[in-house]
């Protein structure tokens, strides 16, 4: 390779194509480093083992629970082992709600269709009166339909919201967005008209026996009524019975809300060498619902974020900017951690050049959604899309759209916000259920998520925004 | 909307941008129809139920087996119900090999490590002698390493091929391609040097207890020795024992090869209205390995192909060209069906304008690989890539590369060959195993595969190639 002809060619390129050679060299270096990131994640990653501990050994981590506290300590200890510049816990106050004894929902009439329905109380739900709630079920498909029926038809009844998620949506999060109002606002709206309790069809496109919980929000000055999700299979069955005549249900919930509790975000960072005040945040949320392991929601996001730092460390990468991993507490029912983090960050005049949240599961990466204040968005979005040739070989693209609940309060700092977007087809098979456990996560898919985030972090760190 | 200004603008476009208006209208129509295809697949599809029957009620469908015959009849009856122009079975001869009684592999020495290994005889493997095979295990990582060792070190031994699939490959099929020579050629090469039997590390990147079978090929005039795959977990364990000293294994296989059997491809088609002699083929292979349900390999491909016809029918689409679904027999261990189909097709002077095979699982679609004779490829590949704006919203792209084993013999007809390419991360978790069953398939991912193929078929039918 050291023949005179090769020397000549080399000289020729140096003389006549300096700019493009430099660009090519940089591109080739970047492509090489991104390949190294994926190699590290796929052949020597730790995130799957961390997730196994978080979901199997610790389990469901609802804010204020003992498990949430264990998760804080576990993740802090993992970050400590990575030998970062610093690791700390940040105090935040969170709600403390407990499901209590297993909820009961059963059809008691018609007599020949008596059966138990597979149900989960919604997060925030109150307990039923001591002798439960018994009432006729009235089915509605939307909040509007509820309004049309009004108090006369609803008072004393058990309202059953049964609008399915639209299976025709390609991105399942859009289908979720089109149905979740029933769960969040349905119970309190029904209570306004005097409903005794509220059932909501589980938010999934599957027809199966798995109930999906999730937060419901009570409005002030409206009576708080028991609110539960039932499995889609049971929703279909219940609806078909209602079409034939009056259906009565007995239900009980044993939930309890306690005083707000002290909890923590977990923060670990590698200090930047050149621009330490420009923070690139990677994060997920530590809390999960209580009924399963919270593997895809959002243990995956936490181990993604930790693995980003681990990968960069293992590759001996010295960032110019500060790379900070933040594991937020209380995304599911309050956003206590996210709001506290942003508040303190603003008080300290911090600047997040970019924040990337993973809260859409540990599936095969498809890219990132990008968001930011209109003043800075267009130019910076153009810049990141120029990196696409480096990211497309890994199936990644950019779309405009919301980032993540925990990082959204940082938008005012005028940095870019990104949401990690993996394939969404299976997410709502597991979301907020008892089956969101480690066996629902494919190791390679999880690892590729971490590598995708690390690659974007690397490019932002190297080139700025 | 009927204001004078709007009329003026309309007139203006008609006068000055006729071509582009037409193109836009066509594009909008095409986008609308493709959306209809996905709507149909995702909200009213049948492929998941068909796959459930094929994999759960019928089960593993190895060529020559009773299950393979049942699968032929079942799929023919499903196609009959679709009211196509014609449905028929095409005779073909296939090998008939049976696994027989469960294989046994156990470590017998060192005495304190006696254990059974989870194993499956490879397809085509002979039975062991009546009293099994006992021998020392010699580990190699490649066919080259085997050659270097030579007869002196191999004679009488049990050769253990233990090169893992490379986890760093992003597309897992590339990792498979880099390791499969051990399974296909390893046993016969070892036999050339007098090996008594051969073990192969299962072809998956996972470390688990699931053995993966698959075909091995014996060369003529070389002794046929028992050949088995062991699980990766056992391969790791065995390798670590070998590093400590001599390891002896006892193994037995009970396989038998019978006379070639009569079997069938299943063919259903919708006759084209304008160019009936231009065939657009969609296909998968009906046979599977015997140990599992053959859900991803390749029940998914069969129901994808059937669903393409079902979707177009349900949307009342009348194709200009002939759309033909072909379910091939015997892809796994002989290609009897694919070769016979091409032979008869050539005899009848048929012309396959395009053939699309789905044989990479029922996962979320990522696009299509495209292949074709060099004389026609460049221009036609350019044409299909012009359709990308219509396909990218569904996550689809084109790559150059091989299509599918069953359709590859059609390349000489100078049409385009496509391989359906879904996400590959999980494929080798299930490939050729006892766990490749319906519960490994996500309904939406499967349905989107059928919709992707139907969309490509629609575009080829409408615009030609």
CA distance B23 to chain A (A): 25
B53 with B74: CB under 8 angstroms?
Answer: yes
* Buried b or exposed e, range B144-153, using 16+ CB within 10 angstroms: eebeebeeee
User: Could you tell me if A286 and A395 lie in one domain?
Assistant: yes
Hey, of A423, A435, A445, A450, which one would you mutate to test binding to chain B, going by the most B CBs within 10 A of its CB?
A423
User: Could you tell me if A85 and A108 lie in one domain?
Assistant: no
For B439, name the nearest residue in chain A, comparing CA atoms only.
A440
- For residue A205, list chain B residues with Cβ-Cβ distance below 8 A: 444
Hey, of B296, B394, B395, which one would you mutate to test binding to chain A, going by the most A CBs within 10 A of its CB?
B395
How many angstroms separate the CA atoms of B329 and B92, rounded?
8
Q: Is the pLDDT of residue A319 over 60?
A: yes
| Yes or no, beta carbons of B444 and A167 under 8 Å apart | yes
Task: Answer yes or no: is A376 within a domain.
Answer: yes
- Interface contact A316, partner B, CB < 8 A: no
Per the document, the length of chain B is 465
Q: Do the strands B197-201 and B115-116 form a parallel or antiparallel pair, or are they unpaired?
A: unpaired
For A166, name the nearest residue in chain B, comparing CA atoms only.
B43
Task: Answer yes or no: is B12 within a domain.
Answer: no
In this prediction the pTM is 0.94
The per-residue pLDDT for B2 is 40
The DSSP symbol for A17 reads -
B305 with B75: CB under 8 angstroms?
Answer: no
Segment A288-299 shows an average pLDDT of 98
| Given A36, A103, A278, A331, the catalytic residue | A331
In chain A, what is the greatest distance between 2 CA atoms, to the nearest angstrom?
Answer: 95
Which pair of tokens denotes residue B209?
Answer: 């207890």
Task: Answer yes or no: is A5 within a domain.
Answer: no
Q: What is the pLDDT of residues A406-462, one digit of tens each?
A: 999 999 999 999 999 999 999 999 999 999 999 999 999 999 999 999 999 999 999
| Residues in contact with B459: Cβ distance below 8 Å, sequence separation at least 6, in sequence order | B30, B384, B387, B390
Segment A329-336 shows an average pLDDT of 98
The DSSP symbol for B295 reads I
- For residue B39, list chain A residues with Cβ-Cβ distance below 8 A: 168
Among the three residues A201, A234, A254, which one is the final residue of a domain in this structure? Answer: A254
Segment A373-395 shows an average pLDDT of 97
Q: Is the peptide bond before A298 cis (omega within 30 degrees of 0)?
A: yes
Which pair of tokens denotes residue A246?
Answer: 């009056």
For B442, name the nearest residue in chain A, comparing CA atoms only.
A426
Q: What is the mean pLDDT of chain A?
A: 95
User: Could you tell me if A111 and A70 lie in one domain?
Assistant: no
* Buried b or exposed e, range A163-196, using 16+ CB within 10 angstroms: bbbbbbbbbbbebbeebbebbbbbbbbbbebebb
Task: Answer yes or no: is A341 within a domain.
Answer: yes
How many angstroms separate the CA atoms of A464 and A262, rounded?
36
- For residue A395, list chain B residues with Cβ-Cβ distance below 8 A: 170, 366
The per-residue pLDDT for B25 is 61
Give me the CATH number covering residue A156: 3.50.30.30
Q: Is the dihedral of CA A94, A95, A96, A100 positive or negative?
A: negative
The per-residue pLDDT for A24 is 53
User: Could you tell me if B344 and B448 lie in one domain?
Assistant: yes
- Concatenating the DSSP letter of every residue in A433-445 gives STT-SGGGS-HHH
The per-residue pLDDT for B11 is 43
User: Could you tell me if B181 and B38 lie in one domain?
Assistant: no
Q: Is the dihedral of CA A201, A204, A209, A213 positive or negative?
A: negative
Among the three residues A216, A232, A254, which one is the final residue of a domain in this structure? Answer: A254
User: Could you tell me if A222 and A280 lie in one domain?
Assistant: no
Q: What is the pLDDT of residues B111-136, one digit of tens each?
A: 999 999 999 999 999 999 999 999 99
CA distance B355 to chain A (A): 25
| Yes or no, beta carbons of A444 and B38 under 8 Å apart | no
CA distance A229 to chain B (A): 22
User: Could you tell me if B201 and B109 lie in one domain?
Assistant: yes
Give me the CATH number covering residue B384: 3.40.630.10
CA distance A39 to chain B (A): 5
B103 is catalytic: no
- Interface contact B178, partner A, CB < 8 A: no
Task: Answer yes or no: is B15 within a domain.
Answer: no
| Yes or no, beta carbons of A38 and B170 under 8 Å apart | yes
Choose among A39, A364, A366: nearest Cβ to B168.
A39
Task: Answer yes or no: is B223 within a domain.
Answer: yes
Choose among A167, A206, A444: nearest Cβ to B205.
A444
| Yes or no, beta carbons of A167 and B205 under 8 Å apart | no
| Yes or no, beta carbons of A444 and B423 under 8 Å apart | no
CA distance B35 to chain A (A): 9
| Yes or no, beta carbons of B364 and A429 under 8 Å apart | no
Backbone angles phi, psi at A357, to 5 degrees: -110, 140
| Yes or no, beta carbons of A168 and B38 under 8 Å apart | yes
Which pair of tokens denotes residue B280?
Answer: 């657009």
In angstroms, the Cα distances linking A260 to A40, A221, B460 are 41, 20, 61
Cα first-last separation, chain B = 39
| Yes or no, beta carbons of B38 and A170 under 8 Å apart | yes
- Interface contact A208, partner B, CB < 8 A: no
Place of tokens 């919203």: B393
Hey, of A170, A172, A361, A363, which one would you mutate to test binding to chain B, going by the most B CBs within 10 A of its CB?
A170
How many angstroms separate the CA atoms of B255 and B250, rounded?
16
How many angstroms separate the CA atoms of A264 and A192, rounded?
36
- Interface contact B172, partner A, CB < 8 A: yes
Task: Answer yes or no: is A74 within a domain.
Answer: yes
Task: Answer yes or no: is B4 within a domain.
Answer: no
For B365, name the nearest residue in chain A, comparing CA atoms only.
A423
Segment A374-389 shows an average pLDDT of 97
Number of domains in chain A: 2
How many angstroms separate the CA atoms of A202 and A119, rounded?
9
If you count residue pairs, one on A and one on B, with CB atoms under 8 Å apart, how many are there? 54
Which pair of tokens denotes residue B297?
Answer: 């390999």
A453 with A282: CB under 8 angstroms?
Answer: yes
Q: Is the peptide bond before B119 cis (omega within 30 degrees of 0)?
A: no
In angstroms, the Cα distances linking B159 to B119, B190, B195, B227, B316 are 15, 7, 7, 10, 58
- Residue ranges of alpha helices (H) inside A45-142 are 47-52, 66-81
Outline where DSSP puts E strands in B255-364: 256-270, 275-285, 321-328, 351-357
The per-residue pLDDT for A22 is 44
User: Could you tell me if B352 and B276 lie in one domain?
Assistant: yes
How many angstroms separate the CA atoms of B172 and B188, rounded?
26
| Yes or no, beta carbons of B423 and A426 under 8 Å apart | no
At A246 the three-state DSSP class reads: coil
| Yes or no, beta carbons of B445 and A429 under 8 Å apart | no
The burial class, CB within 10 Å (0-12 / 13-18 / 19+), for B220 is exposed
Q: Is the pLDDT of residue A3 over 90?
A: no
ipTM of the complex: 0.92
The per-residue pLDDT for A26 is 86
> How many of the other CB atoms lie within 10 Å of CB of A262?
11
- Concatenating the DSSP letter of every residue in B122-191 gives PBTPPPPPTT-EEEEEEEESSHHHHHHHHHHHHTTSEEEE-PPP-TT-SSHHHHHHTTTHHHHHHHHHHH
| Given B36, B139, B269, B331, the catalytic residue | B331
Choose among A43, A170, A442: nearest Cβ to B425.
A442
- For residue A170, list chain B residues with Cβ-Cβ distance below 8 A: 38, 393-395, 448
Among the three residues B237, B254, B271, which one is the final residue of a domain in this structure? Answer: B254
- Interface contact B239, partner A, CB < 8 A: no
- Residue ranges of alpha helices (H) inside A348-438 are 374-385, 388-391, 427-430
Between residues 333 and 372 of chain A, which touch chain B (CB distance below 8 Å)? 364, 366
The per-residue pLDDT for B26 is 86
User: Could you tell me if A311 and A424 lie in one domain?
Assistant: yes
- Interface contact B393, partner A, CB < 8 A: yes
User: Could you tell me if B434 and B454 lie in one domain?
Assistant: yes
How many angstroms separate the CA atoms of B358 and A154, rounded?
52
3 state SS for B61-78: CCCCCHHHHHHHHHHHHH
Domain that holds residue B62: 33-97+259-463
B323 with B264: CB under 8 angstroms?
Answer: no
- For residue A448, list chain B residues with Cβ-Cβ distance below 8 A: 170, 425
Place of tokens 């390798």: B239
User: Could you tell me if B114 and B192 lie in one domain?
Assistant: yes
Which pair of tokens denotes residue A465?
Answer: 């925004």
Beta bridge pairs of residue A139: A160
Per-residue pLDDT of chain B (465 residues; tens, 9 = 90+): 344 444 444 444 444 444 444 455 688 999 999 999 999 999 999 999 999 999 999 999 999 999 999 999 999 999 999 999 999 999 999 999 999 999 999 999 999 999 999 999 999 999 999 999 999 999 999 999 999 999 999 999 999 999 999 999 999 999 999 999 999 999 999 999 999 999 999 999 999 999 999 999 999 999 999 999 999 999 999 999 999 999 999 999 999 999 999 999 999 999 999 999 999 999 999 999 999 999 999 999 999 999 999 999 999 999 999 999 999 999 999 999 999 999 999 999 999 999 999 999 999 999 999 999 999 999 999 999 999 999 999 999 999 999 999 999 999 999 999 999 999 999 999 999 999 999 999 999 999 999 999 999 999 999 999
- For residue A168, list chain B residues with Cβ-Cβ distance below 8 A: 38-39, 42-43
CA distance A300 to chain B (A): 17
B295 with B340: CB under 8 angstroms?
Answer: no
Q: To 10 degrees, the CA torsion angle through A388, A390, A395, A399?
A: -20
Q: Is the pLDDT of residue A19 over 50?
A: no
User: Could you tell me if A190 and A70 lie in one domain?
Assistant: no
């Amino acid at each position: 390779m050291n023949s005179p002809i090769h020397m000549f060619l080399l000289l020729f390129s140096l003389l006549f194509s300096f700019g493009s050679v430099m660009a090519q060299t940089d591109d080739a270096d970047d492509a090489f480093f991104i390949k190294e990131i994926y190699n590290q994640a796929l052949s020597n990653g730790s995130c799957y083992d961390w997730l196994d501990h978080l979901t199997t050994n610790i389990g469901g981590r609802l804010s204020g629970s003992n498990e949430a506290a264990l998760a804080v300590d576990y993740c802090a200890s993992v970050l400590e082992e990575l030998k970062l510049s610093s690791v700390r816990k940040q105090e935040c106050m969170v709600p403390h709600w407990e499901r209590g004894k297993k909820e009961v929902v059963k059809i008691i009439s018609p007599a020949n269709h008596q059966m138990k329905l597979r149900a989960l109380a919604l997060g925030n739900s109150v307990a039923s009166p001591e002798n439960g709630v018994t009432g006729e079920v009235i089915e509605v498909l939307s909040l509007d339909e509820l309004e049309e029926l009004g108090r006369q038809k609803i008072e004393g009844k058990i309202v059953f919201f049964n609008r399915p998620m639209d299976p025709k949506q390609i991105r399942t999060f859009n289908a979720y967005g089109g149905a979740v109002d029933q769960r969040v606002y349905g119970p309190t709206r029904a209570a306004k008209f005097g409903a005794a309790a509220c059932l909501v069809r589980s938010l999934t496109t599957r027809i199966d026996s798995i109930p999906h919980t999730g937060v419901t929000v009570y409005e002030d000055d409206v009576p708080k009524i028991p609110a539960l999700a039932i499995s889609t299979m049971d929703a279909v069955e219940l609806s078909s019975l209602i079409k034939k005549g009056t259906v009565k249900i007995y239900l009980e919930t044993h939930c309890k809300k306690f005083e707000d509790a002290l909890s923590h975000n977990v923060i670990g960072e590698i200090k930047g060498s050149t621009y330490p005040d420009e923070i690139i945040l990677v994060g997920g949320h530590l809390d999960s619902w209580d009924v399963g392991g919270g593997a895809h929601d959002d243990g995956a996001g936490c181990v993604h974020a930790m693995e980003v730092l681990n990968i960069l460390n293992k590759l001996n990468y010295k960032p110019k900017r500060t790379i900070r991993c933040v594991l937020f507490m209380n995304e599911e029912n309050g956003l206590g951690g996210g709001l506290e983090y942003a508040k303190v960050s603003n008080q300290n005049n911090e600047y997040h050049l970019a924040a990337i949240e993973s809260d859409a599961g540990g599936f095969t990466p498809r890219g990132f959604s990008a968001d930011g204040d209109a003043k800075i968005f267009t130019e910076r979005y153009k810049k990141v899309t120029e990196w696409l040739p480096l990211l497309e070989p890994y199936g990644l693209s950019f779309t405009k759209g919301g980032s993540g609940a925990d990082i959204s309060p940082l938008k005012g700092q005028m940095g870019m916000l990104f949401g990690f977007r993996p394939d969404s087809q299976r997410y709502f098979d597991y979301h907020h259920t008892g089956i969101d456990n480690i066996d629902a996560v494919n190791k390679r898919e999880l690892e590729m998520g971490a590598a995708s985030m690390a690659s974007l972090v690397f490019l932002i760190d190297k080139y700025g925004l």
